[in-house]
Chain A
């Protein structure tokens, strides 16, 4: 059990920055550039781990604890989902609620740390993050409810494996979950992960004061978050029964690469939405999930 959990977390930690690398390469390809090497996120994180931390005298322990808590929360959440052929090491009745609230915990501490700096700029980012997460959480739970109704189970790993069939409701839930994924990971239609020092940033503005190890934890944590939330989406759409674990793993990894490519294409083809249009996008995702729920209640697929 212990070994299993460690290997699960190890795989997530090894592969997650690669996803960011693929997204970067895709964006570079669309812009007609050669782009940073595929392993650039690893170099970035390694570089930050070799540096020291700088703390402002106005901050308290919360500021130092937040990156560690956020990183730990997303790593724990990765234990709850299967990765291709690898079964989820931990699962129990109702672990979807834990899954959703581990992210809420990570977000809560990031927001607290941003407020802890006392900078009005970071406070603004924190307020935006809190406002948007109100909307994404509802949509996330609606999507999980659709999965729970289809698979008739409230265990996350069973829900993922039970939903391998592509039906009309899954099409709606998948689309709305993809929008949640983009919003949760501060990706382009909602937020631009590459900008700095701009008044419309949401997530990036909250971590401006972090440095060294702490910043590395935050970067790594967001990569892991993208990997786990993406793994949930990919897991729903790849069939799981009657295949050998090796084929399943290969399909899973292929699906993850495909997901990264799709995110890269979306980021290259779309401009970031105006801040007041973001809630509209999330309300759209909510309506899609709602229609999906109606279809499930009506049809059962």
Chain B
């Protein structure tokens, strides 16, 4: 029951992120989502392995990345997503449809091993979809980074199915990859900002000398 509440809270926070426009709020919500996410391994397989995962998520996603993202928005001084590609109301409706699609897909999907909770797969698919929607519907580079991170949270949830049979080293490698990716994106954001006085990624589609 506690695990299911946590899973639903994660999806819930994803939907709230879809509907909010202030970047500070979005980063706070992402940190909260990751915080709840960090508890899920312990709720499924209590043990040393889960504890290590929890600490890794806590340090990377609850502390380091939000702090880094806050630094980035202070540095390029933007506070809100001004004009998203799709309006907020429409994004929310799309999000609802995608969550429905995720539930439908996962009901068709047969997982070849024991499932911990039958909400785990739909919830992870929903979070992946929400992150993906965030990634494609927003123009500011920072919101896109957050979309990527939310999507990664969904992948983490899905990987929980394999928690007891993946070596720890592989998982740490994945975490390192994400960390480096976000770091690189942060640097790219700053470069876009210096080049165009704005972090709108639409500028990247126009060619010039």
Contacts and interface: CB of A to CB of B under 8 A. Distances in A.
Given A294-B99, A294-B100, A299-B119, A287 B15 contact: yes
B173 interface: no
A280 B119 contact: no
Interface stretch (A41-49, A63-71, A167-175, A243-251): A167-175
A167 B6 CA distance: 11
Interface string B93-105: 1011001100100
B119 A168 contact: yes
Interface in A162-212: 166-169, 171-172, 175
Contacts, number: 67
Contact of B96 (A168, A277, A291): A291
A106 B10 CA distance: 38
Interface residues of A, number: 24
A166, A175, A283, A301 — which one has the most chain B CB atoms within 10 A of its CB? A283
A295 interface: yes
A299 B7 contact: no
Interface string A267-301: 00000000001011101101110110011011101
B141 interface: no
B36 interface: no
Contact of B89 (A283, A297, A299): A283
Given A294-B100, A299-B4, A287 B92 contact: yes
A283 B8 contact: no
A166 B99 CA distance: 22
Contact of B103 (A284, A294, A301): A294
B119 A284 contact: no
The contact size tier of chain B is: 20 to 34
Contact of B12 (A175, A281, A298): A175
B55 interface: no
Given A290-B100, A294-B103, A279 B8 contact: no
B119 A295 contact: yes
Interface string B136-170: 00000000000000000000000000000000000
B189 interface: no
A83 B19 CA distance: 35
B107 interface: yes
B88 interface: yes
Contacts of A279: 89
B1 A283 contact: no
Contacts of B119: 168, 295, 298-299
Interface string A122-156: 00000000000000000000000000000000000
A172 to B, nearest CB: 6
A287 B8 contact: no
A284 B4 contact: no
A294 B97 CA distance: 11
Contact of A167 (B4, B16, B103): B4
Contacts of A172: 8, 12
A172, A295, A299 — which one has the most chain B CB atoms within 10 A of its CB? A295
A287 B95 contact: yes
A288 B4 contact: no
Interface of B: 1, 4-5, 7-9, 11-12, 15-16, 19, 88-89, 92-93, 95-96, 99-100, 103, 107, 118-119, 122, 126
Q: Which 4 A-B pairs rank lowest in CB-CB distance, beginning with the nearest?
A: A168-B8, A287-B96, A294-B103, A280-B89
27 contacts: A168-B7, A169-B8, A171-B8, A171-B9, A171-B12, A172-B12, A175-B12, A277-B88, A281-B19, A283-B89, A283-B93, A284-B15, A286-B92, A286-B96, A287-B15, A287-B92, A287-B99, A288-B12, A290-B99, A291-B12, A291-B15, A295-B8, A295-B119, A298-B107, A298-B118, A298-B119, A299-B4
